[in-house]
């Protein structure tokens, strides 16, 4: 009894078994043994309840009615694939168009810049006087 816990026993038989470190699950008359070996008659009488399984069902969602959903589910995969490919093609065309427009704008901007650069003649910048003291002693 290192933890200084006090144990109270029903009788001396239980006390002796405890001090000899005998497991209660190995003694046929203990409640632990009876539970482990399913000797409890009251528990056998109780029938286990079964949970009712939830069956999936269809209903309309915010974006689509039930008829639309069922129609989509019923259509053939070839039709669905064709629709998907058409949508992808449309998206790719839009992206390509925007890229071409950006390229054209860039080219136009670059040509304007060159015109501006070409029209201004380059002149040598006049040398500015150096700042600093008169170069005295250190």
How would you write the pLDDT of the chain (138 residues) with one tens digit per residue?
568 899 999 999 999 999 999 999 999 999 999 989 988 776 666 677 888 898 888 888 888 888 888 888 888 889 989 999 999 999 999 999 999 999 999 988 888 888 887 766 666 666 777 777 666 676
Would you say the C-alpha torsion 93, 95, 96, 98 has a positive or negative sign? positive
pLDDT at 85: 95
Measured from the Cβ of residue 64, the count of other Cβ atoms closer than 10 Å reads 12
pLDDT at 60: 84
pLDDT at 94: 96
pLDDT at 71: 87
Q: Which tokens in the block code for residue 50?
A: 């079964």
55 Cα distance to chain centroid: 27
């Amino acid at each position: 009894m290192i933890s200084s816990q006090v144990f109270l026993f029903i009788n001396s038989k239980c006390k002796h078994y405890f001090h000899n470190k005998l497991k209660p699950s190995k003694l046929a008359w203990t409640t632990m043994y009876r539970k482990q070996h399913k000797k409890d008659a009251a528990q056998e009488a109780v029938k286990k309840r079964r949970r009712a399984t939830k069956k999936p069902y269809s209903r309309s969602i915010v974006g689509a009615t039930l008829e639309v959903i069922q129609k989509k589910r019923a259509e053939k995969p070839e039709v669905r694939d064709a629709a998907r490919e058409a949508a992808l093609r449309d998206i790719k065309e839009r992206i390509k168009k925007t890229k071409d427009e950006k390229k054209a704008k860039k080219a136009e901007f670059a040509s304007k810049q060159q015109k501006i650069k070409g029209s201004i003649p380059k002149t040598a910048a006049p040398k500015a006087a150096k700042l600093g003291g008169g170069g005295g002693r250190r």
